[in-house]
Amino acid sequence: MVPGKYTDLDGYPLGQWIIKTRQQKLNGRLKEERIAQLDEIGMVWNIFDAKWEKAYVLAAAYYDEIGMRWETRNPKSQKSCLKLKEKVEPAKAG
């Protein structure tokens, strides 16, 4: 993902352009042809979903490596780990 403050070597504010382009799509003001072009290069339209997906992949890899050692001493954390484990296991099987 391109950081929002990214500027290329010529000074073009690419990060801001991407933010504006995402907003245009969200508001229905971006042409389908342009959406398709950006999709072809892997445009991330929803940064929150992208971050969640990345964290999920990391959690699944952690679980693969650590296995049953997700439990912690904090009961709230144990519940959170068990809930995440329940989501990760079906994805690992598929």
Residue with tokens 């964290």, as numbered in its chain: 55
pLDDT at 6 over 90: yes
pLDDT at 20 over 60: yes
**pLDDT tens per residue, range 27-78:** 999 999 999 999 999 999 999 999 999 998 888 887 777 765 555 555 566 6
Q: What confidence score (pLDDT) does residue 73 get?
A: 53
**pLDDT tens per residue, range 82-94:** 666 677 666 556 5
* Cα–Cα distance for residue pair 60/3, rounded to 1 Å: 26
Question: Which residue stretches of 6-46 are H helix?
Answer: 14-26, 32-40
Q: What is the pTM of this model?
A: 0.61
